[in-house]
Amino acid sequence: MNAEPALHHLEPAIRRLNKLAPLTGEEIAALQAGTGLAHRVSAHREVMADGEPVTGPSLVLKGWACRVRIFRDGRRQILGFLLPGDLIGLCDQPEPLASTMVTAITEVTLCPAPHPVEKGSRLATAYALSRALDENYLLRHIGRLGRLSAYERLIDWVAEIHERLALAGLATPASFPMPLTQEILADTLGLTSVHVNRTLQMVRRQGLMDVRNGRVTLTDPANLRRLVESRPTRVSASLSTQDLAVSAA
């Protein structure tokens, strides 16, 4: 892949990591150098197989991917999404193996993530906070599937994705891209496609949000979050509540 367009796609990743820990010029240069080895994965193709050896961390530059578990009868549960600026294969254990399959939803551009020059560096801190956020999103998803109604699941998931895309500068205060089918939403929220369709119609009638042409528009973002008691995600006292909040500006 040509390094120049890959370098252009690096901006959301740098913005996200910079929010987690302000990077040095040397660390940004190391991230830029990694784009020279960027590669694309076509939509619906496997990025990483379940149980595959993990050779090193990769940075998502562009596109949407997901962690997914497919059962013997063909049923599918999407466990979480990987968005621009997220890291895949960030592991500390020896000889790591992938715990789930990772699949590209859209065309995805990835590049190697540089190793921090030293423990405690800003890049190392950003990576550690990114890993903590991944865990937080997973725990949130467990709670969402276990105890929330279909209506609440959809709203809570929308609030999370809005926050995550805003962290990378890919969302406005009232809208964000969402290149997902109702089938994918169903496999994410543990519902049927019919149930997802009815729930989307309900929130549209209530004037909370609208989903069309691959974009979510939030009519009243603050009220939407209040309905599910959604607050800015915090995984460290070093991050203020403003660091991960969706700006109202």
Query: Domain tally for the chain?
Result: 2
Q: What is the CATH number of the domain that holds 167?
A: 1.10.10.10
Cβ neighbours for 227, distance < 8 A, ≥ 6 positions apart: 152, 155, 208
Cβ neighbours for 16, distance < 8 A, ≥ 6 positions apart: 84, 85, 86, 130, 167, 168, 169
Considering the domain architecture, whether residues 18 and 117 belong to the same structural domain is answered as: yes
**pTM attached to this predicted model:** 0.92
Considering the domain architecture, whether residues 116 and 18 belong to the same structural domain is answered as: yes
Query: 65: closest CA among 6, 16, 106, 10?
Result: 106
Domain residues for 174?
A: 149-249
The DSSP code for 175 is: E
pLDDT at 119: 85
- The answer to whether 147 touches 178, Cβ cutoff 8 Å, is no
Cα–chain center distance at 217 = 18
Measured N-to-C along each axis, helices 150-167 and 193-205 cross at an angle, to the nearest 10 degrees, of 80
Considering the domain architecture, whether residues 159 and 138 belong to the same structural domain is answered as: no
Domain boundary among 87, 117, 147: 147
pLDDT at 227: 92
What whole-number distance in Å separates Cα of residue 119 and Cα of residue 132?
16
37 sits in the region (left: phi over 0; alpha: psi -120 to 50; else beta) called alpha
What whole-number distance in Å separates Cα of residue 85 and Cα of residue 12?
6
Say whether pLDDT at 242 is over 60. no
Average the pLDDT over 213-232 and give the result: 92
Considering the domain architecture, whether residues 6 and 112 belong to the same structural domain is answered as: yes
Considering the domain architecture, whether residues 124 and 40 belong to the same structural domain is answered as: yes
Average the pLDDT over 224-249 and give the result: 74
What tens digit of pLDDT does each residue of 13-46 get? Answer: 999 999 999 999 999 999 999 999 999 999 999 9
Q: Which residues pair with 108 in a beta bridge?
A: 41
Considering the domain architecture, whether residues 78 and 159 belong to the same structural domain is answered as: no
Considering the domain architecture, whether residues 182 and 79 belong to the same structural domain is answered as: no
pLDDT at 3: 55
Q: What is the CATH number of the domain that holds 51?
A: 2.60.120.10
Considering the domain architecture, whether residues 153 and 130 belong to the same structural domain is answered as: no
Considering the domain architecture, whether residues 66 and 82 belong to the same structural domain is answered as: yes
What tens digit of pLDDT does each residue of 73-97 get? Answer: 999 999 999 999 999 999 989 999 9
- The answer to whether 57 touches 87, Cβ cutoff 8 Å, is yes
What whole-number distance in Å separates Cα of residue 132 and Cα of residue 130?
5
Considering the domain architecture, whether residues 134 and 19 belong to the same structural domain is answered as: yes
What tens digit of pLDDT does each residue of 102-141 get? Answer: 999 999 999 999 999 888 899 999 999 999 999 999 999 9
pLDDT at 248: 41
Considering the domain architecture, whether residues 166 and 118 belong to the same structural domain is answered as: no
